[in-house]
Amino acid sequence: MSASDESLSLTATELRMATFRLARRLRSARAADSMSDTQLAVLAGLRIHGRRTISALAVSEHVTAPSMSSIVNGLEEQGCVVRIPDEDDRRRVQVEITDAGVEIVAETIRRRDELLAAMLDDVDFTDEELTTLREASALMRRVAER
């Protein structure tokens, strides 16, 4: 393994460990305690992308269509989504987020942002370090979006 390969491997390990620990702490902050991470992810995706079919939701969350149907059933029971017949193909349905679902996503985001801001404040970063963190977040977003 070359020096750059070792550096890349070490960087990957450090980022994975830090990201995992941070994500675990942030996941604890949510607007609906009874809602799973997958259900929140589905709601967030619907909020961003609008109506989607069960199949499209399943692909985006890397689960089977029957699993997604079960997830959507749970969200529908909680009043967070509604099923709407597809205008082009009546055999299919579109899933749409409700106002209640939008509120849960917005409140969860607010709580998580508030928690992370408090965590950053506890460390007492300098302005330069905060700038470095913002720059690093842009780089990590590039990796995550590939």
Domains located in the chain, CATH noted: 3-144 (1.10.10.10)
State residue 146's pLDDT score: 82
State residue 3's pLDDT score: 62
Q: Is 2 exposed, middle or buried (0-12, 13-18, 19+ CB in 10 A)?
A: exposed
Helix axes 99-123, 3-27, angle to 10 degrees: 120
Shortest CA distance to 36 belongs to which of 95, 108, 84? 108
End-to-end CA distance of the chain: 25
State residue 28's pLDDT score: 87
Shortest CA distance to 102 belongs to which of 57, 44, 54? 44
| Per-residue pLDDT tens digits for 68-91 | 999 999 999 999 999 999 888 888
DSSP 8-state secondary structure symbol assigned to residue 62? T
State residue 13's pLDDT score: 93
Q: What are the structure tokens assigned to 137, written together? A: 């977040």
8 A C-beta contact, residue 20 and residue 12: no
State residue 2's pLDDT score: 62
pLDDT less than 70: residues of the chain? 1-3
